[in-house]
Amino acid sequence: MADDGMLMNWEIGDVPILPKQKFQGGRWKDRLAAKKIVQKRTSRPPNPSTREIFKENRHNVPVEDYIGPSSEPRPPKRQRVEINSGRNLDTAKFISGKLPPGSINTGEKRSVPIQEDTRPAFVSGKLPPGSIKTGESRSIPFKEDPRAAVVSGKLPSGSINNAGARSTKFDDETRPAYTSGKLPLGSIKGGGGGGSNANKGFANGGHHVESGKPNQIISSLFSFNPSAKTKFEEPEEEAEPAKPSNAPLTEEMETFTALGLSRRLAAHLSTKLDMKAPTAIQKAAIPEMIKDDSDAFIQAETGSGKTLAYLLPVVERILAMSSKEVQVHRDSGLFAIVVAPTRELCKQIATVLEKLLRCAPWIVGTTAIGGEGKQSEKARLRKGVNILIATPGRLADHLDNTEVLKVNMVRWLVLDEGDRLIEEGFGDDIKKIVDRIGATPVSTVRDKILTGLDTKALPSRRVTILCSATMSMKVQQLGEISLKDAVHIQADPSDVEAVKEKTDGTTDDEKAFSAPAQLKQAYAVVPAKLRLVTLTAILKRAFARRGSVMKAIVFISCADSVDFHFSLFSRPWEASTEDGEAAPEVPELTKNDLTKDTVAYGSTFSSKANPVVLCKLHGSLAQNIRTATLKAFTESTVPCVMVCTDVASRGLDMPNVDYVIEYDPPFSAEDHLHRVGRTARAGKDGRALIFLLPGEEEEYVSILASGYREGKKALTHHTAEDLLRKGFGGTGREWEDRATEWQLEVERWAQDSPKYLEMARRGFQSHIRAYATHVANERHIFNMQTLHLGHLAKAFALRDKPGSIKVPGLRPAKLTKADRSVAARKAKRGEVEDKAPEGERVKKQRKLDLDLPAADDSAAKRMKKKMKEHMAVASEFNIG
Ligand SMILES: Nc1ncnc2c1ncn2[C@@H]1O[C@H](COP(=O)(O)OP(=O)(O)OP(=O)(O)O)[C@@H](O)[C@H]1O
């Protein structure tokens, strides 16, 4: 992709030229002209002292330290061209960034880079109010943003020439930020003849190549941003709030006892768990599972109570085995196995079960999820368990190796979050589990004699239940492995029609799922450069008023990027407020050894007076840290934000999450539904916002609409400007200066610390790799080829040229033994990874939350190709 900026060099006079001057980019005429000038200059005897100064200072010494008074020679520009006053300034080309290097000419023999937007420099730097100091005494009135003047071509010839000799004055109309008296690192520092070098690269169509740091580019936030290509319809008036679609029914409509639950269980639900009536999916599933012994596929929206929809009938029927004489107990046998894709989800299901079983403590449930010693799991299994909740890998392992795990009594096999089970590559494990359990005959008579329990209360056959909020091909695939003549149970019978098979055997995926009706969804079309400031603005705004948002989740595509954003948002607070007053002390955060690096205050978007807690969660954290962090977020009684990967997208039930932000787009439409489903649960309100880049990504709006009952009508559109204005506040366009100042500050934070700089670079690189893993049918929307890496780097607080960002020792993909042996076999057969089917690639890629894909997979290749292209462009324009 072409870079949007160009180098525009202004002649600066007698300056020694480096022997290896290269001329690239632009028209051949310009290059020839430049060459001639250089030849002319180099034919003069060099000034040795100047050359020494230049050599010494090229990268190490601050510009102002070595640039002398205006009469002294100045360090050279990269390229110099002699051009005539103003005539060559092609405004349209300048604006579009297509003007060849060296084509702007002031008519003087000096080369001065034009700062495409000087405002950032003024916002936070140290410039004395009212002037741009350059070392000479001429002054030029400056009415507005200098960029605007240059762009419009109305500036008098040579008017932004700070190379020697002038001071540029602002009059009263100049924005207040210009006089705030602070100049950022490497911005406009004239100081005699050297201003040009200090600002080298400001002429670069929005880029500033920082002095002394030749590879750095500081681009202006608000220039060269692509605008949205779609004209989005704005809703004329606020739509009526939709009625919650996943709420419990009223007691008048339905009761648990009417569905066939015993009084004991119904009373426990009502008095201890505060659940007076079932939800729609519970109403549909409970009677079916109590009376019928068919396999079933339970499908309902996120947050609609699917866990209890399958647990209640299981517990009810196990309870019913007890008689007056004999009570079911932990040694009676293992009756049900629930399989879920993540440990977090297993633990959550186990917690729900444990609460349920408080009314029948003689029934025992436990987990087998790895992360703790297998021996202790074995010991618990040996003691006896009636309901087991397990991850697929661990269960398959126990079935193979743990003798005490007997499955002859198992009547229910529940596969929760079915599509994720397949996506995560557990297909083989599930098949093994189903085959293994299926091959064991179901005990009936013998066990009745042995235990005296009424096994008639249990299903006569082994029942498999598949459970999911979404119905994708993957669920069907799982259904084929595990279900026989299954009934499809849905909350709303009209939805069943929508997922009926088409004649060609596919399902209508577009209508196969929907978000809760009361969920308020929005999308923000935000240019890449503005992503980070916009996210900050959103969080600032969301937590500005205490109580408006209690908990928010920010979804990010990969673990490295989560780490970077966590560190950025939790930088230590300033000791004093902006007015110089001592800031109030914030209460000590309750952290322990496990959460010391994953829980902090979100200082960037909250204040000491109104602090917000920040947590991070991803699959590369140790299991005990993940568990402790999730607990901290879930149990937090103060406002809290969690930045996380998709590890938290499925099934997790976190109370009081009222805002979900998809900062990075989801990998598939189903993932989107699951992510936004962390809010608006069980009839509660919720909001969700997704970031989209202008251009192809705007097409995603129709996918959002298709998963939403009300379609596009219910989706709200935001622009970056809206969000920034609300988040950074101020009068007029003050938000622009505040956002710029904030961005420059975080860039300095990243530049000043090798640790954070590497984090930013890792985050950036992994983000691009992750971007390449979108499902194939959405890749035209999330298209690597249209990503502007330079702009994206800005959102990672980077000033590097994208092509030069190479982090050694990136986190390797965590491949299982099985993955490795498959790869080895493939290598032997000479098969390249690229030929692997989508499922394989995505599986590998996303294993453990995209901690990072293997270096040789196709996504990484696509990223490399993109990087190469970008580097080619950079060198063409001679950046840096
Ligand atoms: N009958 C009920 N009355 C009130 N609250 C309920 C009822 N049933 C479930 N809930 C609550 O609804 C929330 C969501 O339940 P659950 O986690 O089972 O949803 P889910 O459908 O499995 O969602 P997901 O698809 O996201 O996994 C939980 O907090 C649960 O306590």
Catalogue all structural domains in the chain, each as residue range(s) with its CATH number. Answer: 256-495 (3.40.50.300), 519-573+590-759 (3.40.50.300)
Coil/strand/helix, residue 643: strand
**DSSP codes, 474-507:** HHHHHHHHH-SS-EEEESSHHHHHHTSPPTTS--
Rounded Cα distance between 395 and 341, Å, is: 11
The residue assigned the tokens 């420059």 is 744
Whether residue 677 has its Cβ less than 6 Å from ligand 1: yes
Question: 341 near 417, Cβ under 8 Å?
Answer: yes
Q: Is the pLDDT of residue 792 over 60?
A: yes
Coil/strand/helix, residue 294: coil
Which atom in ligand 1 lies closest to the alpha carbon of residue 277? 1
The per-residue pLDDT for range 297-324, each reduced to its tens digit, is 998 999 999 999 999 999 999 999 887 7
Whether residue 303 has its Cβ less than 6 Å from ligand 1: yes
Whether residue 305 has its Cβ less than 6 Å from ligand 1: yes
User: Which residues are bridge partners to 132 per DSSP?
Assistant: 168
In a 13 Å sphere around the CA of 782, the CA atoms on its Cβ side amount to 27
Q: According to the model, what pLDDT value does residue 2 have? A: 37
Coil/strand/helix, residue 279: strand
Q: Tell me what percent of the residues of the chain surpass a pLDDT of 70.
A: 59
Q: Is the pLDDT of residue 616 over 70?
A: yes
C-alpha 605 – ligand 1 centre gap (Å): 31
The residue assigned the tokens 């100064």 is 53
More confident: 664 or 187: 664
Whether residue 307 has its Cβ less than 6 Å from ligand 1: yes
Q: According to the model, what pLDDT value does residue 554 have? A: 97
Coil/strand/helix, residue 524: strand
C-alpha 682 – ligand 1 centre gap (Å): 6
Question: 869 near 788, Cβ under 8 Å?
Answer: no
SS3 content of the chain, % helix, strand, coil (to 5): 40, 10, 50
Q: Is the pLDDT of residue 505 over 50?
A: no
Rounded Cα distance between 410 and 502, Å, is: 35
Q: Is the pLDDT of residue 796 over 70?
A: yes
Q: Which of 245, 298, 304 to mutate to test the pocket of ligand 1 (most atoms within 8 A of CB)?
A: 304
More confident: 367 or 591: 367
Whether residue 653 has its Cβ less than 6 Å from ligand 1: yes
Q: Is the pLDDT of residue 562 over 80?
A: yes
Mean pLDDT along residues 415-420: 84
Query: The complex's ipTM?
Result: 0.99
Q: According to the model, what pLDDT value does residue 743 have? A: 94
C-alpha 329 – ligand 1 centre gap (Å): 28
Coil/strand/helix, residue 465: strand
Whether residue 342 has its Cβ less than 6 Å from ligand 1: no
**DSSP codes, 169-230:** EE-TTS-GGGGS----TTSS---GGGHHHHTTTTTBTTB-B-TT-TTBB---TTSSPPPPSS
Q: According to the model, what pLDDT value does residue 527 have? A: 95
Q: According to the model, what pLDDT value does residue 95 have? A: 31
Mean pLDDT along residues 78-93: 34
The per-residue pLDDT for range 382-393, each reduced to its tens digit, is 999 999 999 999
Rounded Cα distance between 388 and 559, Å, is: 31
Identify the band that residue 865 occupies on the pLDDT scale cut at 50, 70 and 90.
Answer: low
C-alpha 269 – ligand 1 centre gap (Å): 13
Rounded Cα distance between 120 and 633, Å, is: 37
Q: According to the model, what pLDDT value does residue 601 have? A: 92
DSSP state of 296: E
163-172, 220-229, 408-417, 819-828, range with the lowest pLDDT = 163-172
266-280, 442-456, 470-484, range with the lowest pLDDT = 442-456
Q: Is the pLDDT of residue 555 over 90?
A: yes
Q: Is the pLDDT of residue 363 over 90?
A: yes
- Predicted TM-score (pTM) of the model is 0.70
Rounded Cα distance between 686 and 549, Å, is: 10
C-alpha 783 – ligand 1 centre gap (Å): 36
Question: 74 near 196, Cβ under 8 Å?
Answer: yes
C-alpha 49 – ligand 1 centre gap (Å): 77
Mean pLDDT along residues 45-55: 38
The per-residue pLDDT for range 817-856, each reduced to its tens digit, is 455 454 444 444 333 333 333 344 444 444 443 333 333 3
Give the torsion through C-alpha atoms of 667, 670, 672, 678, to 10 deg. Answer: -130
Angle 858-869-837 from CA coordinates, rounded to 5°: 15
Q: Which of 245, 256, 269, 275 to mutate to test the pocket of ligand 1 (most atoms within 8 A of CB)?
A: 275
Whether residue 249 has its Cβ less than 6 Å from ligand 1: no
More confident: 445 or 531: 531
Whether residue 275 has its Cβ less than 6 Å from ligand 1: yes
Write phi, then psi, for 779 (nearest 5 degrees).
Answer: -70, -20
Rounded Cα distance between 73 and 365, Å, is: 82
Q: According to the model, what pLDDT value does residue 182 have? A: 35
372-376, 556-560, 701-705, range with the lowest pLDDT = 372-376
The amino acid at 570: S
Rounded Cα distance between 480 and 466, Å, is: 11
Q: How far does CA 652 lie from the centroid of its chain?
A: 18
Q: Tell me what percent of the residues of the chain surpass a pLDDT of 90.
A: 34
Rounded Cα distance between 737 and 811, Å, is: 37
Mean pLDDT along residues 618-627: 89
Which atom in ligand 1 lies closest to the alpha carbon of residue 278? 1
The per-residue pLDDT for range 445-467, each reduced to its tens digit, is 555 555 677 778 889 889 999 99
C-alpha 519 – ligand 1 centre gap (Å): 15
